[in-house]
Chain A
Amino acid sequence: MEGKKETISNYVCEILKNYSVERRNLLPVLREVQEKLGYLPVRAMEKVAEALGIPTVDVYGAATFFNLFRLSPPGKHQIKVCMGTACFMAGGQIALDSFERRLDVRTGETTPDGEFSLEEVACVGCCSLAPVVVVDDFVEGNVTPTRVDGILLSWDIGKKKQREQD
């Protein structure tokens, strides 16, 4: 555990080197930390607060205020279901329900094995393909419950192949 803390601090220090000590760099720094670590661990937020000379609670405030930031590690694969207007109308909720049912998690959670995390996003700009699901960075259009099964199945198959190869 101690070792992990050290790496977090090191990463954060590395990132902070590129920024001047000014409050207005808070969001860009947090962004970069999250890009590096996948989420914002408490230790990282403390470090950022210390470096920028602002109260930790302000950093925590910003991290919880903005939808971009997450406070727990994401799954290996991120499933984002579009809940924009067009997708909502075309059955986005149905797709979201299907993922919740199949993965046995609620929106915003990660599966216990750390494989998938399930999230909602607002319009990803492909309304003509509604309902849309973004799996990692790949956009899937016209997602029905059957397609949900298909998406998950293809990951399962991929994983099995991987295991056979190893």
Chain B
Amino acid sequence: MDVSLTERAYIKMKAASINNLKYLEDKPVIRVGTGTCGKAAGALRIREAFKDELTRKGIDAGVVEVGCMGHCYAEPLIIISKPGFPSLCYGKVDEVLVKRLVEDFLINNDPCYEFAMAALEPNDIFPTFRDFPRGVYEEKMILENCGFIDPEEIDFYIARDGYSALADVLNMEPGEVLGEVKASNLRGRGGAGFPAGIKWEVVRKAGNGMKYVICNGDEGDPGAFMDRNILESNPHQVIEGMIICAYAVGASLGYLYIRSEYSQAIRRVNNALRQAREKNLLGASILGSAFCFDLEVFSGAGAFVCGEGTALINSMEGGMGIPQHRPPELAVSGYLGEPTVLNNVKTFCYVPLIMRKGADWFKKTGTPGSPGTAVFTLAGKIAGPGLVEVPMGTTLRQLIFDVGEGIPRNKKFKAVQIGGPSGGCLPEQALDIPLDFDSLEEAGAMMGSGGLVVLDEDDCMVGMARFFLNFTQQESCGKCTFCRLGTKHMLEILKAITRGEGDMASLETLRELAEDVKTGSLCNLGKTAPNPVLTTLKYFRDEYEAHIKGKCCPSLKCPDLIAYFIEPDKCSKLCNICVGSCPVEAIYTRDNGLKAINRDKCVKCDNCLKACPPEYSAVIKVSPPGLVEEREREMK
């Protein structure tokens, strides 16, 4: 069979990469997760501890920094692969455990199973992630390599077949490549779910001039971090996807637009670009073919609205990040007026997989309308927060209660907020909605960025609506009157309600304003900004009414509507913990030895409530605050 030039170049490159990693064979390898989450939990300290301990004991083992596996609840997280044992994953590692693992496992062959979370490969001894509920539902496509490969060394990616799709693609006709992506019905993962193939086709047909490919890594949703995680953990997958896209549409230059706050992601992507250039995967005549393409990082400057395509382009051109009227679509007139493909980080990630394994393989997962997987960040009141990848069509219930392991501390589920500031809050009865682009939109929420925040009985829905509206109001670029002033007025109403100063008529005004902002805004920031308010009004109207009629926050959350109180029959006179815990000296001792709170001084910081020993649990919150006086009167 005729082996093409690019394939030969690839085979050689892969052999070299495997050879470069030879030093890790036949000896134990310790992988330490150093994504931002791992680092925050002390991963660097753990890495150093391993290195010290290995040197001290004179053991020959590799310590490799990898990205994030998505098990954020268990950081710092490490994986030990020792010949003769399955690879084992350990969570919440501290220095003591490091010492034990080196001593017991690396020297004495006892893997300390009592501390292990799971094995990576199936074996007879220890369960794998697949054996847990989370693993049953999870299906990793684009996250498969995150947490296993060193994002700073291209060899790891290549050794796992990275860039092989590119080598194949370069032998195909660009039209064929496009055909495969179209056949896969890959929908954009940036929120709106527009089919990528159709977008690409427009750009491909737009003549032979300059064209651009841009990756949207602006990720402005204040509760989502999957794009950052992918860029940090496996940057080459995104880069490979972008090169393939450029080949299919005929672009010669591209940019990765990354949020400025993501300094580690920017650093790692720049490093990855440099390594790809060195291997001739970017630049002139890629892998010996006639195709030329290069990529650069453009770092955003912290504006949520810049995630919107036209605003993103404006900011890249040196203007303010203000959205423009469409049409023309970016595919016709984008960056510097040229045809431009703009896709999300995750969208590009699927491309090498689709090219390698085929559109039919891709469509086997997910639903017919939304094939493939969806990546979510689970946060809020959930036992297993982190990053998960499940097939499209998984229900919210499965995601929250099986994958995320439910609500901690036996609290009751109240709602789930999905899609960030443009999404909505869905109640218990909506939990059986399958997660795909179309079903969510029907329910009034949105796939959005994939941020998923779980709320329990202690969370106030009015406060939540206010939080998101406050965010969109601040981030509104100010171009459209409705978005600029309408959201402001809505926010004022919500603030009044959470202060106990609302009236029932204002609920109607709120709803009307929401509809007006929806219709009167140019871009999706304004069009979707009212979603959190509309969904909470629809599903949790009783909470709004309690705030207005009873001046009471049923979840005991809104600071203006609650007061702290120490129950006399529970307070132990001998304990002084709450007094010491108060940052403003608001707690005093009554003549009879019982503690009490000076309401004028109290700043409602929750410190005393947390400090009071569980056997007493004497500090409580009450709403409305007037209840405290009633209790005081009773006491006398």
The chain A residues found within 8 Å of chain B, CB to CB, are: 22-28, 30-31, 52, 54, 58, 61-62, 65-69, 83-86, 88-89, 91, 94, 97-98, 101-102, 121-130, 132, 139, 141, 144-146, 148-149
Bound CA–CA A125/B38 (angstroms): 10
The reply to whether A126 and B317 form a contact with Cβ atoms under 8 Å apart is no
Residue B73, interface by CB 8 Å: yes
Query: What are the nearest 7 A-B pairs in CB distance?
Result: A85-B223, A66-B301, A67-B302, A139-B40, A26-B318, A125-B225, A23-B318
- Quick one: which of B413-464 are within 8 Å of A by CB? 417, 420, 451, 453, 455, 459, 464
Bound CA–CA A85/B225 (angstroms): 12
The reply to whether A65 and B320 form a contact with Cβ atoms under 8 Å apart is yes
Within the complex, which residue of B385, B455, B471 is in contact with A127, where a contact is CB–CB below 8 Å?
B385
The reply to whether A127 and B301 form a contact with Cβ atoms under 8 Å apart is no
- Quick one: which of B461-480 are within 8 Å of A by CB? 464, 467-468, 471, 477
The reply to whether B318 and A145 form a contact with Cβ atoms under 8 Å apart is no
C-beta contact mask, B24-50 vs A, less than 8 Å → 1, else 0?
000000000001110111000000000
Chain B residues closer than 8 Å to A88, beta-carbon distance: 467
The reply to whether A86 and B317 form a contact with Cβ atoms under 8 Å apart is no
Residue B158, interface by CB 8 Å: no
Residue B614, interface by CB 8 Å: no
The reply to whether A123 and B221 form a contact with Cβ atoms under 8 Å apart is yes
- Quick one: which of B584-627 are within 8 Å of A by CB? 584, 603-607, 610
Known contacts A67-B303, A85-B467, A89-B453: does B223 contact A127 (CB below 8 Å)? yes
The reply to whether A85 and B318 form a contact with Cβ atoms under 8 Å apart is no
The reply to whether A28 and B302 form a contact with Cβ atoms under 8 Å apart is no
Within the complex, which residue of B298, B386, B606 is in contact with A128, where a contact is CB–CB below 8 Å?
B386
Closest to B417 in A: A85
The reply to whether A128 and B385 form a contact with Cβ atoms under 8 Å apart is yes
Bound CA–CA A94/B610 (angstroms): 13
Residue B133, interface by CB 8 Å: no
From A22, A61, A101, A123, residue with most partner B Cβ within 10 Å = A123
Bound CA–CA A141/B40 (angstroms): 8
Within the complex, which residue of A65, A101, A141 is in contact with B41, where a contact is CB–CB below 8 Å?
A141
Chain A residues closer than 8 Å to B35, beta-carbon distance: 125
Chain A residues closer than 8 Å to B318, beta-carbon distance: 22-27, 52, 54, 62
Residue B316, interface by CB 8 Å: yes
Bound CA–CA A46/B387 (angstroms): 44
Sampled A-B contacts (24; CB under 8 Å): A27-B298, A27-B315, A30-B301, A58-B319, A66-B315, A68-B301, A85-B222, A85-B453, A85-B467, A89-B381, A91-B606, A123-B221, A123-B222, A124-B36, A125-B36, A125-B225, A126-B36, A126-B40, A130-B379, A139-B39, A144-B607, A145-B583, A145-B605, A146-B581
The reply to whether B319 and A62 form a contact with Cβ atoms under 8 Å apart is yes
The reply to whether B261 and A124 form a contact with Cβ atoms under 8 Å apart is yes
The reply to whether B41 and A129 form a contact with Cβ atoms under 8 Å apart is yes
Closest to A29 in B: B318
The reply to whether B221 and A24 form a contact with Cβ atoms under 8 Å apart is no
The reply to whether B224 and A123 form a contact with Cβ atoms under 8 Å apart is yes
B560 nearest CB across to chain A (Å): 12
The reply to whether B41 and A68 form a contact with Cβ atoms under 8 Å apart is no
Within the complex, which residue of A65, A85, A98, A102 is in contact with B379, where a contact is CB–CB below 8 Å?
A85
Residue B333, interface by CB 8 Å: no
A5 nearest CB across to chain B (Å): 25
Chain B residues closer than 8 Å to A62, beta-carbon distance: 301, 318-320
The reply to whether A86 and B41 form a contact with Cβ atoms under 8 Å apart is no
Within the complex, which residue of A25, A86, A102, A121 is in contact with B453, where a contact is CB–CB below 8 Å?
A86
Bound CA–CA A68/B302 (angstroms): 5
The reply to whether B301 and A67 form a contact with Cβ atoms under 8 Å apart is yes
Within the complex, which residue of B223, B228, B261, B610 is in contact with A86, where a contact is CB–CB below 8 Å?
B223
B213 nearest CB across to chain A (Å): 17
A109 nearest CB across to chain B (Å): 17
The reply to whether A85 and B380 form a contact with Cβ atoms under 8 Å apart is yes
Chain A residues closer than 8 Å to B228, beta-carbon distance: 125
The reply to whether B607 and A31 form a contact with Cβ atoms under 8 Å apart is no
The reply to whether B317 and A127 form a contact with Cβ atoms under 8 Å apart is no
Chain A residues closer than 8 Å to B321, beta-carbon distance: 65-66
Closest to B421 in A: A85
The reply to whether A98 and B583 form a contact with Cβ atoms under 8 Å apart is yes
Bound CA–CA A101/B451 (angstroms): 32
Chain B residues closer than 8 Å to A144, beta-carbon distance: 605-607, 610
Within the complex, which residue of B225, B319, B581 is in contact with A123, where a contact is CB–CB below 8 Å?
B225
Bound CA–CA A102/B603 (angstroms): 13
Chain A residues closer than 8 Å to B299, beta-carbon distance: 27-28, 31
A102 nearest CB across to chain B (Å): 8
Bound CA–CA A135/B605 (angstroms): 21
B273 nearest CB across to chain A (Å): 16
Residue B220, interface by CB 8 Å: yes
Residue B394, interface by CB 8 Å: no
Chain A residues closer than 8 Å to B584, beta-carbon distance: 101
Closest to B459 in A: A89
The reply to whether A125 and B37 form a contact with Cβ atoms under 8 Å apart is yes
Known contacts A66-B321, A123-B223: does B380 contact A86 (CB below 8 Å)? yes
The reply to whether A98 and B417 form a contact with Cβ atoms under 8 Å apart is no
From A52, A58, A88, residue with most partner B Cβ within 10 Å = A88
Chain A residues closer than 8 Å to B377, beta-carbon distance: 127
Closest to B611 in A: A146
Residue B75, interface by CB 8 Å: yes
Bound CA–CA A128/B385 (angstroms): 6
Chain B residues closer than 8 Å to A61, beta-carbon distance: 320
Chain A residues closer than 8 Å to B15, beta-carbon distance: none
The reply to whether B605 and A24 form a contact with Cβ atoms under 8 Å apart is no
The reply to whether B317 and A23 form a contact with Cβ atoms under 8 Å apart is yes
Bound CA–CA A125/B223 (angstroms): 8
Chain A residues closer than 8 Å to B459, beta-carbon distance: 89
A137 nearest CB across to chain B (Å): 8
B619 nearest CB across to chain A (Å): 14
From A68, A86, A129, A130, residue with most partner B Cβ within 10 Å = A86
Closest to A23 in B: B318
The reply to whether B222 and A97 form a contact with Cβ atoms under 8 Å apart is no
Bound CA–CA A144/B610 (angstroms): 10
- Quick one: which of B273-318 are within 8 Å of A by CB? 298-304, 315-318
Residue B336, interface by CB 8 Å: yes
Bound CA–CA A42/B539 (angstroms): 50
Closest to B456 in A: A89
